[in-house]
Amino acid sequence: MKTRVNWFWMVVLAAVLLTCGMAAAQETKVNINDLVSETQKMDQSSDEMVLVWWIPEEYWSESFKDDPSMTAEQTEKFISVLRPYTMVVVVEGKMGTFGGVTYKPEDEIRGSIKLMDSAGTAYKPLKEEELSADARNFLGMVKPVFENMLGPMGQNMHFIVFPAKDKSGKMIASAKDEGSFTISTGDKDFRWRLPLGSLLPPKVCPVDGEILNGAWKYCPWHGAKLEPMK
């Protein structure tokens, strides 16, 4: 249990620090910590750990929202570079007898990982040469941030990029729309149900007034249809 907490919060810390550095630690309407937690998935056995962090464009837009140095035009220009892609960060490690971690290299991760849309269509990672020059430059700049903050773990957090749309032009993973998608890493599947509750206004149970996840339609305890907050 101690190892699980350490792994998880180290990555949350990296995300929060990255956000604070770009957003001047100011409050936004969306709770960035909740958004980071909701976009991360982890599977951990006694000696192995796989963590996948999906980074939707809303993460960047919310991070920049209250940054006085970023105009709306600059934010849109930045996000437009990443919009053609579904981006995830993956780290896989195996804990040794004395606590040392052996990380899986990027080529092995890329060889086994795939993205599956809600229809079950599978997508392989895009090759570096398939990315735009700006997207390649972005990845080259952001990876050292994680390396500096997390050391060996940060060095082994690999950015894997998939297409954002299917052949028909439909978004594969839209954070604010209903749907789902899955990231598979070998024998482990990580599924996201959409939309993300952290991006939506919370709802209220009409039975007892409890404030609940904005992505839910019904109260899980009373079965009543949730109502918007007034």
Other beta carbons within 10 Å of 84 = 14
Residue 166: strand, helix, or coil: coil
pTM: 0.84
Answer yes or no: is pLDDT of 22 > 50: no
How many angstroms separate the CA atoms of 75 and 70, rounded?
6
Based on C-alpha coordinates, what's the Rg of the chain? 18
Q: How many CB atoms lie within 10 A of CB 124?
A: 13
Neighbours of 145 (CB within 10 A): 15
**Pairwise CA distance, residues 182 & 71, whole Å:** 34
- CB-based contacts of 100, cutoff 8 Å, min separation 6: none
The 10s digit of each residue's pLDDT in 142-199 is 888 888 888 888 889 999 999 999 999 999 999 999 999 999 998 899 999 999 999 9
At residue 207, the pLDDT reads 94
